[in-house]
């Protein structure tokens, strides 16, 4: 009987050892599964964060929102503008220049701008682009010219403005009013030579001149006039007749005006 007792003890110990090994294996397997589940959850969370970032719409420029078409919580529609943003640090405008004048326009030229909505204010712009792709309408072709205005003050997008491109500028030159220049580049001046001009009013004579730059009001005289010459200015009156210069004085209908640089 003493021989069988050790055998039963061995079997019991071997059974308990197998149970412990099985439990350890199960714990390791569960730990691996839990670790994999955690990694999948982390990846899913990262994906959710990326998706959330896609819901943030950012503007390509810094500026002021002047129009919003949606509010928080609205569902977005494809192809519809979410908001309109203006960069009000400067403004641009487009001028349409006639084909006869476009050859005189170049990038960098100064543009004087006025607006009825902003009284007594002269804005200055710069030509930044001359588009050579013309637009033809009614037999006339015009070319878009872009002007940038840096100091906008109270000027706002959409306002109507008048613009004048300065093609060339000169200072301290001899100039006369544009209406004083007659056909054939002639001007009527007071006759101080003592000789009479049969084609001119009494006391006056015509002189041919060489002209230079001009604007809407004055034209440069390069040759043909002296500083002391008194130029008669043609003036239209109500009856479509013409008289010259200032109102007649002492019976002389052709009182001249002195024009100096």
73 domain-assigned: no
Q: Are residues 96 and 151 in the same domain?
A: yes
Q: What is the pLDDT of residue 239?
A: 39
Say whether both 161 and 179 belong to one domain.
Answer: no
- Look at the chain and report how many structural domains it folds into: 3
Domain end among 9, 34, 56: 56
Q: Is the domain of 114 the same as that of 136?
A: yes
Mean pLDDT of all residues belonging to the chain: 78
pLDDT at position 15, please?
53
Residues 236, 161 share a domain: no
CA 80 to chain CA mean position, Å: 25
Q: Determine the structural domain holding residue 8 and report its residue range.
A: 1-56
On the question of pLDDT at 36 being above 70, the answer is: yes
Inter-CA distances, 38 with 11, 42, 47, Å:
41, 6, 14
Domain contains 67: no
| Mean pLDDT computed over 173-187 | 89
| Domain presence at residue 157 | yes
Residues 148 and 186 in one domain: no
Question: Which band of pLDDT confidence, cut at 50, 70 and 90, is reported for residue 110?
Answer: very high
Residue 148, in any domain of the structure: yes
SS3 state at 87: coil
Are 215 and 225 spatial neighbours (Cβ–Cβ below 8 Å)?
no
* Same domain, yes or no: 234 and 186: yes
Do 141 and 108 fall into the same domain? yes
Which of 50-64, 89-103, 146-160, 207-221 is predicted with the least confidence, judged by mean pLDDT? Answer: 50-64
Same domain, yes or no, for 186 and 140? no
pLDDT band at 136 (very low <50, low <70, confident <90, very high): very high
SS3 245: strand
Judge whether 63 lies within some domain. Answer: no
List, in sequence order, every residue forming a beta bridge with 98; answer none if it has no partner.
Answer: 142
Query: Residue 57: which residues within 8 A CB-CB, separation 6 or more?
Result: 82
| Mean pLDDT to the nearest integer, 233-258 | 41
Chain segment 72-90, per-residue pLDDT in tens: 878 877 778 888 888 888 8
- Residue 250 predicted with pLDDT over 50: no
């Amino acid at each position: 009987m003493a021989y069988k007792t050790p055998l039963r003890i061995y079997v019991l110990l071997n059974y308990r050892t197998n149970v412990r090994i099985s439990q350890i294996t199960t714990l390791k397997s569960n730990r691996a599964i839990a670790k994999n589940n955690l990694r999948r959850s982390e990846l899913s969370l990262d994906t959710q964060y990326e998706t959330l970032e896609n819901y943030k719409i950012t503007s390509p420029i810094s500026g002021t929102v002047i129009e919003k078409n949606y509010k928080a919580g609205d569902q977005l529609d494809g192809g519809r503008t979410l908001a309109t943003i203006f960069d009000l640090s400067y403004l641009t405008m487009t001028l349409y220049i006639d084909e006869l004048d476009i050859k005189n326009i170049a990038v960098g030229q100064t543009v004087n701008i006025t607006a009825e909505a902003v009284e007594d204010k002269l804005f200055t712009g710069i030509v930044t682009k001359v588009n050579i792709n013309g637009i033809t309408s009614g037999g006339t072709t015009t070319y878009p010219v872009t002007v940038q205005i840096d100091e906008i003050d109270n000027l706002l997008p959409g306002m109507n403005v008048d613009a004048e491109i300065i093609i060339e500028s000169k200072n301290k030159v001899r100039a006369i009013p544009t209406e004083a220049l007659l056909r054939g580049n002639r001007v009527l001046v007071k006759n101080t030579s003592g000789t009479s001009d049969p084609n001119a009013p009494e006391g006056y004579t015509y002189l041919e001149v060489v002209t230079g730059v001009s604007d809407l009001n004055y034209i440069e005289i390069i040759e043909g006039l002296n500083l002391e010459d008194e130029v008669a200015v043609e003036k239209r009156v109500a009856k479509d007749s013409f008289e010259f210069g200032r109102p007649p004085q002492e019976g002389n209908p052709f009182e001249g005006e002195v024009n100096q640089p």
